[in-house]
Amino acid sequence: MRPPITVVIPCKNEQQHIADCMDSVWGWADEILVADNGSTDQTLRIVDRYRRRSPDRCRLIEREFVGYGDFKNWAMSHARHDWVLHLDADERLTKEIKQEIDKTLSNDSPYAGYRIRFQLYFLGRPIRRCGWNRHRPIRLMRRSLCRFDDRRVHEGVVVSSGRVGALQSPIEHYTYRSLIHWTDKKNRYTTLGAEELAAAGKSVRPFRDLLIRPIFRFLRVYLWHGGILDGVPGLIISMDDAFGTFLKYAKLWELQHVSPALTEADRELQPDPAPQATRAAS
């Protein structure tokens, strides 16, 4: 029999995804811990329906957002069980991966965590190239042995002791429900990325960072990683990756050369502002 598992779902304004995500682990997870950072849509009302169905199995915690690593560490600290599976609201566990996890952990696993691959869907279509299938992060982990690093975006996992294994079955990831959603998310990610570079003392070399980097990013995704074989979605992804690279370094230049007051004022125009209050609900 496998040890109990807490599924942690960080979210904000995920009313279109949260129910399907929770349904995919309902009845399998020993605890579902939804960590919200200021939803203003119907997300919390949807989560509340699951909490009323089983208050012991489903809990909600809420806190302001600082960075992805910090937020996930905080959420994981509230888990009741040592084994924690981190699942984004736009991701789904399939029957196959649940069975694989059950079998793997039932054998008294010697590992501190497991890498998991993804089957990604973009605008409803499966993406098999573009480099997206190369990413295999640690998502299933012992919270006593693992933590996220402090990066504000694209956080990694630090393993204090033990080895890391790998699962074969994928998590389904329904990323970007529309191009509007995609550009909003890209705007937030590039802001966090620019702030992270600024904190690390990086500076912009205009010719290299605003011209050469984006061009090479497009060529890498579209040609080297095979985005050309994913049709129009592959072209859109490749162009956006190039623009995202440009935008991150352009924002870094803005942080370093434009009035900080102006930059801070512009932040108010960003979607999904972080909440001001911190509270926890059980």
Among 153, 175, 197, where does a domain finish?
175
The H or E element spanning position 194 is: helix 179-199
pLDDT tens digits, one per residue of 132-142: 777 899 999 99
226 in the same domain as 246: yes
pLDDT tens digits, one per residue of 117-173: 999 998 888 888 888 777 899 999 999 999 999 876 667 899 999 999 999 999 999
Contact 32, 22 (CB under 8 A): yes
Task: Give me the CATH number covering residue 41.
Answer: 3.90.550.10
132 in the same domain as 33: yes
pLDDT computed for residue 259 by the predictor: 60
Distance CA 272, CA 156 (A): 23
pLDDT computed for residue 153 by the predictor: 66
Whether residue 258 lies inside any domain: the answer is yes
157 in the same domain as 203: no
Among 175, 197, 225, where does a domain finish?
175
168 in the same domain as 41: yes
229 in the same domain as 168: no
Whether residue 279 lies inside any domain: the answer is no
Residues 6+ positions from 206 with CB-CB distance below 8 Å? 253
pLDDT tens digits, one per residue of 6-16: 999 999 999 99
pLDDT computed for residue 273 by the predictor: 42
Whether residue 273 lies inside any domain: the answer is no
pLDDT tens digits, one per residue of 51-107: 999 999 999 999 998 888 999 999 999 999 999 999 999 999 999 999 999 999 998
38 in the same domain as 79: yes
The distance between the two most distant Cα atoms of the chain, rounded to a whole number of Å, is 59
161 in the same domain as 45: yes
Residues 6+ positions from 107 with CB-CB distance below 8 Å? none
68 in the same domain as 12: yes
Distance CA 200, CA 198 (A): 5
pLDDT computed for residue 263 by the predictor: 55
Residue 189 has pLDDT above 90, yes or no: no
Q: How many domains would you assign to the chain? A: 2
pLDDT computed for residue 281 by the predictor: 40
pLDDT computed for residue 129 by the predictor: 85
pLDDT computed for residue 275 by the predictor: 38
Question: Span 40-54, mean pLDDT?
Answer: 97
Whether residue 61 lies inside any domain: the answer is yes
Average pLDDT value over all residues in the chain? 89
pLDDT tens digits, one per residue of 211-262: 999 999 999 999 999 999 999 999 999 999 999 999 999 999 999 988 664 4
Whether residue 153 lies inside any domain: the answer is yes
Among 155, 175, 195, where does a domain finish?
175
Residue 269 has pLDDT above 60, yes or no: no
161 in the same domain as 57: yes
pLDDT tens digits, one per residue of 16-27: 999 999 999 999
Question: Span 165-191, mean pLDDT?
Answer: 88
81 in the same domain as 162: yes
pLDDT computed for residue 124 by the predictor: 80
12 in the same domain as 113: yes
Distance CA 65, CA 266 (A): 18
Whether residue 131 lies inside any domain: the answer is yes
129 in the same domain as 59: yes
Whether residue 10 lies inside any domain: the answer is yes
Residue 265 has pLDDT above 70, yes or no: no
Distance CA 201, CA 73 (A): 25
Segments forming the whole domain that contains residue 55: 5-175
Whether residue 141 lies inside any domain: the answer is yes
Contact 79, 6 (CB under 8 A): yes
